[in-house]
Amino acid sequence: MTIDRRTTLSGLAAGAMALVLPAARAQAGGTLDQVKQRGSLRVGVTQAPPWYSKDPKTGEWSSGVGVSMGKAMAAALGVKFEPVEVTWGTAIAALQGNKIDIMYMMDATPERAQAVDFPATPLLYYSLAVLARDDLPVKAWADLDKPGVRIAVPQASSMDKFLSEHVAKATIQRFPGNAEAIAAFQAGRADAVCLFHPPLLAARQKLGTGKIVVPTPAQSQASSAAVRKDDKAFLAFVDKSLGDYYRSGQTQKWYEQFLVGFGLDPKASPPVMKEML
């Protein structure tokens, strides 16, 4: 039998692939296997108090509900908490590209559910609100749905989607994250910034100006955590963890701890548990 050069090379390539593929599969595994092999749970983070907050002195992601929850889940798995900086708009791609393992405070929209999975158990509940100029009359969403009203919002967020559908007459200014949207309002480039109520408490405290309004009709909803698609074991772990934290009141405690640390009174702030709203 004559063996030519092409046949030889093909055989070598096939042999190499036979050696590589099992190793690749073993390394890939599910998220739980990867987390334990790596020794860390990679949590997507973005500057958005009270969900995530970086200490400007140390550069560490040291506080916020998402940080506390990430550390608790990492501890439960016997690994370290590894924050990975993303934006709300890039978090889904980071999950798909295996750059992070989970992103808290991602609302489970139908569009996102096509790309990632969400646990059945909600993470917490909150209401959509605006931090507006003191002299801007705002009681209802219709008051903002006017030409000339400038509203800052994080791009590709559920807030962006709501404004695009219900306040389309306004000038909607889209930014990479919460911090940039709030900065636009602070600089006077926007008349209001639209976020869910809790982050606006921290923003109002820091800026010392503006008024927080929950426009009518109130838009209250559950938030969730996004994970990679088709990973049933990790999804089940996240679902159980969120349920345990919520039912025990730990999620509300983490929220209140951040508010106190930020100089805010939890009693004067809306809770994040549906039963307490």
Does the structure show a pLDDT above 70 at 8? no
Answer yes or no: same fold for 31-124+223-276 and 126-220: yes
Tokens coding 163? 């404004």
pLDDT tens column, 106-129: 999 999 999 999 999 999 999 999
The pLDDT-based confidence of 28 (bands split at 50, 70, 90) is: low
Name residues whose C-beta falls within 8 Å of residue 275's C-beta, 6 or more positions apart in sequence: none
Question: What b/e sequence results for 207-240 when a residue is b if at least 16 CB atoms lie within 10 Å of its CB, and e otherwise?
Answer: eeebeebbbeeebebebbbbbbeebeebbebbbe
Q: Would you call 211 helix, strand, or coil by DSSP?
A: strand
User: Is the preceding peptide bond at 217 cis, omega within 30 degrees of 0?
Assistant: yes
Contact by Cβ (8 Å): 108, 218: no
Rg (CA), the chain: 22
Phi and psi torsions of 142, nearest 5°:
-65, -25
Residues of the chain with pLDDT > 90, as a percent, come to 79
- In whole angstroms, what is the distance from residue 239 CA to residue 233 CA? 10
CATH topology of domain 126-220: D-Maltodextrin-Binding Protein; domain 2 (3.40.190)
The mean pLDDT of the chain is 89
pTM more than 0.85? no
pLDDT tens column, 165-186: 999 999 999 999 999 999 999 9
- CB count within 10 Å of CB 176 equals 16
Name residues whose C-beta falls within 8 Å of residue 21's C-beta, 6 or more positions apart in sequence: none
Q: Say how many residues make up the chain.
A: 277
- In whole angstroms, what is the distance from residue 167 CA to residue 217 CA? 13
Instruction: Say if domain 31-124+223-276 classifies as CATH 3.40.190.10.
Output: yes
Q: Which of 113-127, 219-233, 259-273 has the lowest mean pLDDT?
A: 259-273
CA angle 204, 91, 76 (to 5 degrees): 90
Helix boundaries (H) for 78-196: 91-96, 110-113, 158-166, 178-186
Q: Would you call 249 helix, strand, or coil by DSSP?
A: coil
Does the structure show a pLDDT above 90 at 275? no
Single-letter amino acid code for the residue at 250? Q
Query: In the chain, where are the structural domains located?
Result: 31-124+223-276, 126-220
The pLDDT-based confidence of 2 (bands split at 50, 70, 90) is: very low
- CB count within 10 Å of CB 173 equals 18
